[in-house]
Amino acid sequence: GENVEQHPSTLSVQEGDSAVIKCTYSDSASNYFPWYKQELGKRPQLIIDIRSNVGEKKDQRIAVTLNKTAKHFSLHITETQPEDSAVYFCAARGSGGYNKLIFGAGTRLAVHP
Amino acid sequence: NAGVTQTPKFQVLKTGQSMTLQCAQDMNHNSMYWYRQDPGMGLRLIYYSASEGTTDKGEVPNGYNVSRLNKREFSLRLESAAPSQTSVYFCASSESGNNEQFFGPGTRLTVL
């Protein structure tokens, strides 16, 4: 079935460093790839997304890249800050139904001052 | 504008009890979703409703039923709760043709 794998499961960086989270997906028909941030005890919130007709998208310190041939996409956070500490989830819209998202297992990012 | 709201915030059930989780959105979205979140497993889709009057199974529908009461409300029912249904449940909504999903605050359910 449809699957999204996410790595690493935990990531620890120093404030100001960059952080990269990678995801691979199995359904070659997937065409929408959002990233959600979830702070402790809070709801997931969309931080950036990319569609299959675009290879890269950037929003201030956050960027996402997509390689459709290899079926993987990545989240890049530059100049990390303590408030970036959270769990990040990637997702891919599956082809099996309307706007159904398949989520990765999540990456717990810790940014140390 | 409250966005997506869920009730209750917390619930403890005994095995075999039933309950309904409520979800409402005030963004005039056509599509609504129920997810469960377990440690190390991300968010898994239980059921979704593409539009008022329709519902479809997601990845993990067994043991659950849903009702799209109207455009605003989408409820999730556990007929006979099991310990394996201990989880955090999130409701979400989105516009038709727009993929961003907006999540509610979640319901933490424990089944003893």
Confidence of residue B97 (pLDDT cuts 50, 70, 90): low
Per-residue DSSP letters for A50-78?
EETT-SEEEETTEEEEEETTTTEEEEEE-
* Paired strand residues for A109: A11, A86
Please state whether the peptide bond connecting residue B8 to the residue before it is cis, i.e. omega within 30 degrees of 0.
Answer: yes
Q: Are strands A86-93 and B19-25 parallel, antiparallel or unpaired?
A: unpaired
Q: In whole angstroms, give the CA distance from residue B71 to residue B51.
A: 7
Q: In whole angstroms, give the CA distance from residue B104 to residue B28.
A: 15
Structure token digits, residue A61: 């310190």
Q: Which of A32, A49, A103 sits opposite B42 (nearest CB)?
A: A103
User: Smallest CA–CA separation between A101 and chain B, in Å?
Assistant: 8
Looking at residue A58, what is its pLDDT? 96
Inform me whether the C-beta atom of residue B31 falls under 8 Å from chain A C-beta atoms. yes
What average pLDDT does the segment A34-48 reach?
96
Q: Which of B48, B103, B105 sits opposite A100 (nearest CB)?
A: B48
- Does position B1 have pLDDT exceeding 80, yes or no? no
What average pLDDT does the segment A46-62 reach?
93
Q: In whole angstroms, give the CA distance from residue B30 to residue A95.
A: 19
Looking at residue A97, what is its pLDDT? 59
B chain contacts of residue A50, beta-carbon cutoff 8 Å: none
Q: Report the share of chain A in percent with pLDDT over 90.
A: 80
Q: Spell out the residues 6+ positions from residue A71 whose beta carbon is closer than 8 angstroms to its own.
A: A24, A25, A26, A28, A30
Structure token digits, residue B20: 């309904």
Q: Alpha carbon of A41 to those of A37, A44, B28, B51, B59: distances in Å?
A: 12, 10, 26, 29, 24
How many of the other CB atoms lie within 10 Å of CB of A62?
16
Looking at residue B41, what is its pLDDT? 81
